[in-house]
Amino acid sequence: MIRRRTLLAAPALVLPAAARAQAWPARPISMIVAFGAGGGTDVAARSIARFMEKHLGGASIGVVNRPGAGGEVGWTALAQAAPDGYTIGFINVPAIVAMTVEKQTRFTIDSFAPIGNIAYDPAILCVRSDSPYASLGAFIQAAKAEPGRITVGTSGAPGNSEHLALLVMQRLTGARINHAPFGGTAPLRTALLGGHVPAATFNLSEGVDQAAEGNLRILGVMSVEREAMAPDVPTFREQGVDVVAGSSRGLVAPKGVDAAILARLQDALARAINDPEYREAAIKAKVPLRYMPAEEYGAFLKKTLEEMRAIWAATPWR
């Protein structure tokens, strides 16, 4: 085992950078997923990996699940991996950014070199269809009339992206709500449908089906523009509340990967996303595709970091 690895590493030491990039990929590439197998990120990783393999000329990409600590275990491993192009991985924004803001982590967003963003799922605020809150305005009015007495459930732990969005909403409108972190979308959605919480926030793709069935009403989507998945749902901005929030999944490499190799990874991702077969599969699986090339993704990461720092300064969430 050791001998084989030395043999593989030997050319890397001898060859100049250009030749090294040309020889890449000489062995399988690991794609780290910081969440358990079968979760949303895992499924996204496994599906894109297949198409990236195809566009990297038959390279082999293996998904490695490293769950734990809300992603911190996997992201630490990714940041600390050798920047040789043989380890890439998924990061989830804003979760990873919020983590670097709220506590001491062994990585910052500068530890990663962006390859590209794949999906973006905006957050929504929704109520059961028989709820008295007909619109976002009515909800905010009610929350102002009874400060801190209307409960809104969120799908994560304190400090999740929806919790942060609610903090911003409260700051902008002066309304005050009671926050209940459910730790997962399934129990939250069940509680909302069963009338155990009056309102809840989760991602759009997790609510469109129930809204289409007429069981839930989406008061607003926290995106810049209306979403193709739910064109009838007004955005928060349209309703006078400037909150944009959601969670994105993108692909990065540890910082320091050879520029030529990084370019090939970025190119393979772009081609994979535009592969008609992949697009069809993604739409069927309700993946909220939003491709951002590396440069745009990098800017998006920086912008998110500034926003998170501002929120933390105004209202630390833990």
Partner 1 sequence: MFDPLLVAAPSVLAPTSILAMVLGTAMGLVVGAMPGLTVTTGIAVLIPFTFGLDPLVALGLMAGMYNGGSYGGAITAILLRVPGTPASVATVLDGYPLAQSGRAGYALQVAVVSGTIGSVLSALALILLAPPLARVSLLFGPAEYFWVAMFGLATVAVLLGDDPPKGLLSAALGLMLGTVGQDLITGSERYTFDILELVDGFSIVVLLTGLYALPPVFRMAEEAVREGMPGSALRLRRAGSVLAEWRRFLPVWLRSSLIGIVVGVMPGAAGSITSLIAYNEAKRRSAEPESFGKGNPEGVAASEAGNGADNAAALVPALTLGIPGSGVAAVILGGLLVHGLRPGPQLFREAPEIVYGFMLQMLVTAMLLLLLGGLAATRLFGQVLRLPPVVLAPAIAVITAVGVFAVNNSVFDLGVLFAIGLVGYAMERLDYPTAPAVLGMLLGPMAEQQLRLALTIGLGDPAVLVANPASWAVIALTLLVLASPWLRRGRTVTS
- What's 129's DSSP letter? T
Specify the residue, 94 or 298, whose C-beta has the smaller distance to partner 1: 94
Examine residue 231 and say whether the peptide bond preceding it is cis (omega within 30 degrees of 0). no
Confirm or reject binding of residue 131 to partner 1 (CB under 8 A). no
Report the distance separating Cα 124 and Cα 29, nearest Å: 36
Specify the residue, 193 or 263, whose C-beta has the smaller distance to partner 1: 193
> Footprint of partner 1 on residues 69-88 (CB under 8 A)?
69-70, 72-73, 76
Residue type, 309: R
Examine residue 94 and say whether the peptide bond preceding it is cis (omega within 30 degrees of 0). yes
- Find out whether 221 and 157 touch, Cβ atoms under 8 Å: no
- Lookup: tokens for 96: 């990873």
Specify the residue, 28 or 184, whose C-beta has the smaller distance to partner 1: 184
Specify the residue, 65 or 266, whose C-beta has the smaller distance to partner 1: 65
Min dist. Cβ of residue 213 to partner 1 (A): 9
Residue 127: exposure state from Cβ atoms within 10 A (0-12, 13-18, ≥19): buried
Report the distance separating Cα 118 and Cα 105, nearest Å: 25
Specify the residue, 1 or 13, whose C-beta has the smaller distance to partner 1: 1
- Lookup: tokens for 242: 């400037």
Specify the residue, 300 or 312, whose C-beta has the smaller distance to partner 1: 312
Nearest to 109, CA basis, from 255, 296, 265: 255
Instruction: Out of 68, 137, 234, 293, name the contact with partner 1 by CB under 8 A.
Output: 68
- Lookup: tokens for 167: 């903090």
- Lookup: tokens for 197: 């919480």
Specify the residue, 169 or 177, whose C-beta has the smaller distance to partner 1: 177
- By CB under 8 A, the count of residues binding partner 1 is 43
Instruction: Out of 5, 11, 28, 36, name the contact with partner 1 by CB under 8 A.
Output: 36
Q: Which residue has tokens 């370019």?
A: 263
Stretch that binds partner 1, among 112-120, 147-155, 261-269, 287-295 (CB under 8 A): 147-155
Min dist. Cβ of residue 251 to partner 1 (A): 19
* Strand partners for 253: 113
Instruction: Out of 181, 229, 291, 312, name the contact with partner 1 by CB under 8 A.
Output: 181
Q: How many helices (H) and strands (E) would you count in the chain?
A: 12, 10
Confirm or reject binding of residue 38 to partner 1 (CB under 8 A). yes
Confirm or reject binding of residue 196 to partner 1 (CB under 8 A). yes
Min dist. Cβ of residue 123 to partner 1 (A): 19
> Footprint of partner 1 on residues 158-177 (CB under 8 A)?
158-159
Specify the residue, 187 or 256, whose C-beta has the smaller distance to partner 1: 187
Confirm or reject binding of residue 157 to partner 1 (CB under 8 A). yes
- What's 128's DSSP letter? E
Report the distance separating Cα 268 and Cα 208, nearest Å: 31
Residues that bind partner 1 in the complex, under the rule CB under 8 A: 36-40, 43, 46, 64-70, 72-73, 76, 148-149, 151, 153, 157-159, 178-184, 186-187, 189-191, 193-197, 209, 318
